Amino acid sequence: MNPNFKFLSSRKVFFISFVLFLMIFTGVKVQGDKSQISEDITELFFDSNSAISSGSKFSVLDDFTEFETFVDSIISQQLTDFNIVGATFSAVKDGKIYLNKGYGYEYKHLFQFVNPNTTLFRIGSISKTFTAIAALQLVENALLDLDVDVNTYLAAFKIPETYPEPITLRHLLTHSAGFEEYQVSIIANTFFGIPDVEDLLRDYIPARVHAPGEITSYSNYGLGLVAYIVEKISGKTFENYIYDEIAVPLGMNYTSFQQPLPSNLDLLMSKGYDSNGNQGYFENVLLPGAGAGSSSAGDMARLMLALLNNGTFDGSRILNNETVTLMQEDHFSPHPSLPGVGFGLYEFDVNNEHIIGHGGDTIFFHSRMALFPEHDFGFFLSYNSYNGAFAKGEFFNAFIEEYFPKDMISYAEVITENLKDFEGTYLSTRRFYNKYYTVKPHLWLEDKFTIETNSSHLMIKYISSPFVQISPDFFVSRPDFVYDFYLFFVRNDDGKVTHFYSNFFPSVISYEKINPIHVNSQLHYALVIAIGAIYTLILALWGLDGVFRIKRKEKRRSKMERLSKWWSFGVYVFGAIPIIVFTTKSSNVIILASETKEKLSWLIAFSYIDTILILGLLILSGISWYNFSSIARNKPSTETEGIDQVKIEQRLDNKKKERKIIFENVKLSLLVILGFGIIVFYSIWNLFGF
């Protein structure tokens, strides 16, 4: 799913989910236009008079009528605005179900209304919360260990030992195992001819592209593997385990991971609808632990109450107190001020409010579960139509704006050094890294962020707020922006910026700095081809001229002229080899900004050699022009000479030679200019390795 942002009114925000990512991110709200950025940055960020606290209105939730009116007004309008057929909502507060409502239709052709207690919606990746609970139950029973190599639990296949460090359950549950995107679509429109889970997990193991625990990348395969381990260790099918150990104890009678659903629940399942309101199909999620759950809003309220009450609901316990605490703690945290990742839950903190939960997206259903532990409050929201991907972000933003408005603060100081380090284009880590897939890696280039900087701040395209650096590699948005947005940049061992995390996306994913060869690539390729074509043409002309000279038995050119030609040929060859290899690789693989040395290895030496040759060509061109000007200065005067036919022909011949020398020098100078263009591309594409 790709995050794109549209400029809307102060009350509305479109949050565009990535269809391919099947997960939810915190919506981004954009206010104003770019003219705001021209305001004085120092005043915006450091004027203490602007530090006005708007305060939390959460106590308003004590007024049930007002809260219900707020929810009704938002969701009812969304059904019209986004062409959504139906929605379901539940909220819990202070250990009780606070609000439970349905909106629109579960089956519009029969005019069947959504019943929040009995109508099932597909909850997508919120299923991962159930998967984590199941795994932690087995940890409590000492049947699983969070920090043991998962290959210990696998018999039918093993995860390749790509790195010295093994993958553990802790890594899988926090999406930090280091897998690339899964090459198999996990949603099918049929139940026939589908491989079983073990075959999918064994035959399509995604490549390990990062050492475990190093970086996060949202992984359906990872949680699918956890569910498979639960099944093998418990001796029950995963679907039956969830039913027996979670659904039954919590009284979740309208929840199931069975696909297709049991007949009694199938009759209560909401239909799914596309963006035009046409009925879709029941989505068969091939890795059940990643997203096969179906549930009602009433049942999800029971799960939320258990998670907010130390694993207990209505006298039944699914987890011990300590385990629930462990589940909600940060087990991967890129920076203390950024949201972390728990087990089956992740933070999406906004405006300094601690929020945990999970999002869920299939093709037709889009859901969010958000828990506010400090307020003993949570809500679940799901839409049965494709455009719910936009609506759920809008609802969350409206809720935060209404009940948790931002406190405006100022900052004591900024760091303006080395801002150029952060410039560039950043691409999601949830993507393909290898070239052997049928889906081209460049498909993922639509999911990118471009960062630009000036002397005092940086800007991100689509977000109309400057960001300033208040501590090394940590940036904040302007105080009067609608949200407190944070950015944290990560550097490698060489001190180069490699990727960033933010609080406007959960930390189950980060964005990597990609090589500029992928940015404006069509223009870059056109310019490189043009330079290469001109070099080829000039060298070809020189070659033909040499052939004709031999045939005419003309005098050989001077050593300087021959040296210039062969030197130009060297520039051509040593420039063509690294550029051709690099552009070919970049057509198959998205190369990161820090990967040039890895991708080209010793071929980088060609870039250095070519640069030296180009500088040498500049010297040769200067000498050639100098020699020509010397000849012109020392040429004897012909003003007093008598005019006869021989002298006229000689003068004409000399003029012809002069013009030819000038033409040759111009060609050489053109090659020098184009050579410096090649050096520019070496620099832009990091072909010098730094």
* pLDDT over 80 (residue 330): yes
Q: What average pLDDT score do residues 310-336 get?
A: 95
Domain ranges of the chain: 60-403, 419-516, 518-684
Classify the C-alpha dihedral 186-187-191-194 as positive or negative.
Answer: negative
Domain 60-403 falls in which CATH fold? Answer: Beta-lactamase (3.40.710)
What integer pLDDT is reported at residue 33 of this predicted model? 34
Determine what percent of the chain is predicted with pLDDT higher than 70.
84
Q: What average pLDDT score do residues 351-370 get?
A: 94
| Highest-confidence segment of 133-142, 352-361, 502-511, 670-679 | 133-142
CA distance 365 to 71: 19
pLDDT tens profile 207-263: 999 999 999 999 999 999 999 999 999 999 999 999 999 999 999 999 999 999 999
What integer pLDDT is reported at residue 642 of this predicted model? 52
* pLDDT over 90 (residue 74): yes
pLDDT tens profile 606-657: 989 989 998 988 888 888 777 766 655 555 555 545 556 665 656 655 566 6
Q: What average pLDDT score do residues 93-97 get?
A: 96
pLDDT tens profile 399-444: 988 988 877 666 768 888 889 999 999 999 998 887 655 566 777 7
Q: In what order do the strands lie in the sheet with 96-107?
A: 112-113, 96-107, 86-93, 377-383, 366-372, 356-361, 346-347
Residue 505's pLDDT band, with cuts at 50, 70 and 90, is: confident
Is this structure's pTM higher than 0.75?
Answer: yes
Residue 298's pLDDT band, with cuts at 50, 70 and 90, is: very high
What integer pLDDT is reported at residue 84 of this predicted model? 98
Contact (CB, 8 A) for 15 and 390: yes
Q: How far is CA 420 from the centre of its chain?
A: 21
**CATH 2.60.120 is right for the domain spanning 419-516:** no
pLDDT tens profile 379-403: 999 999 999 999 999 999 999 889 8
Phi-psi region of 357 (alpha: psi -120 to 50; beta: other; left: phi over 0): left
Contact (CB, 8 A) for 297 and 88: yes
Distances (CA, A) of 604 to 26, 104, 211, 250: 41, 62, 26, 61
- Beta carbons within 8 Å of 462's beta carbon, 6+ residues apart: 4, 5, 28, 30
* pLDDT over 50 (residue 667): yes
Q: For the chain, what is the mean pLDDT?
A: 85
Q: What's the one-letter identity of residue 431?
A: R
What integer pLDDT is reported at residue 688 of this predicted model? 84
pLDDT tens profile 13-54: 323 333 333 333 333 333 333 333 333 333 334 333 333 344
